Structure 1
């Protein structure tokens, strides 16, 4: 006689009754929370918090950016970006430079200290990917990415239509 899975459990976690109508959404929430917790542990080793590495990635790839451009690129809000930039500036990873054609704006640029950090962040993201995907086969990894991209598209359309 085989054991039937408990419908109140998903992946070993209790699913609240209110979430039973959305087991995939509940699973995405749990995975996203764990993913953020784990990347936080990894980033602490180099003095960063989750989200700060995304700002640094944009600066490393694109060069100095206006804060408003970083808000747009990372789909953030101005207040959150201000706090993030202040913390990165305090840590010595970015500096503000005045914008020549707009006195109200400044450019955010990576410092030499952050350039030394780049390789470590790349290694952290590789480790995060390895731990996240674990023993999934190459085909499963490809399919996971494909499904997540479709889910992202669905949610993007929903927020555009509903928002």
Structure 2
């Protein structure tokens, strides 16, 4: 690695020309900022995605949420347990299939929709503040294509 790729910026010691090195650096910084913005709402970074899915449809089977979030079942169970203990969701066995755990929003969880969406907007603004509107559109299009490529969609 050349000395030109090592500095005092985030991602020290990585090849800054490599997309595969930049993605985790951007992801970690974005998640850290998201976490700091969501903390005021009593949420940890990542938990907002569960709520967003439930705002679209509630209740949902826990297995469906796990699949949509692309996380492992134990990770989903831990995240849901935290959201449940915070009073934002509730889980109960399906009355038609006892193997299925249904996850639904509580009133407290529903009440977070506006505040979380406001945080999400602020996160977008802070993430792209140094980009022009055209650059933001281009970034959105490129990230969509990369996500589709990596997820096979």
With normalisation by structure 1, the TM-score equals 0.84
Deviation sequence 1:109-153 (CA, Å, 0-9, x none): 000011111111000000000000003111101100111122223
Contact 1:8–1:14 (CA under 8 A) maintained in structure 2: no
SS at match of 1:7: helix
| Aligned equivalents of 1:151, 1:52: Cα separation in 2 | 23
Structure 2, unmatched stretches of 5+, are none
- 1:7 and 2:1 aligned: no
| Aligned equivalents of 1:131, 1:13: Cα separation in 2 | 17
**Structure number having the greater strand percentage:** 1
Residue 14 of structure 1 deviates from its aligned partner by: 5.8
| Aligned equivalents of 2:11, 2:54: Cα separation in 1 | 41
Deviation sequence 1:81-114 (CA, Å, 0-9, x none): 1001110110000011331210122211000011
Q: Mark the CA change 1:122 to 1:129 in structure 2 (over 3 Å): closer, same or farther.
A: same
Structure of greater Rg: 1
Q: Given the alignment, which residue of 66, 71, 74 partners 2:61?
A: 66
Q: How many residues in Structure 1 have an aligned counterpart in Structure 2?
A: 151
Cα root mean square deviation, aligned: 2.1
1:81 maps to which residue? 76
Alignment of 1:37-52 (within 5 A): 37-52=32-47
Deviation sequence 1:17-45 (CA, Å, 0-9, x none): xx439622211111111000000001100
Contact 1:43–1:49 (CA under 8 A) maintained in structure 2: yes
List, as ranges, runs of 4+ consecutive aligned residues in structure 1 with deviation greater than 6 Å: none
1:121 maps to which residue? 116
With normalisation by structure 2, the TM-score equals 0.89
Q: Mark the CA change 1:22 to 1:135 in structure 2 (over 3 Å): closer, same or farther.
A: closer
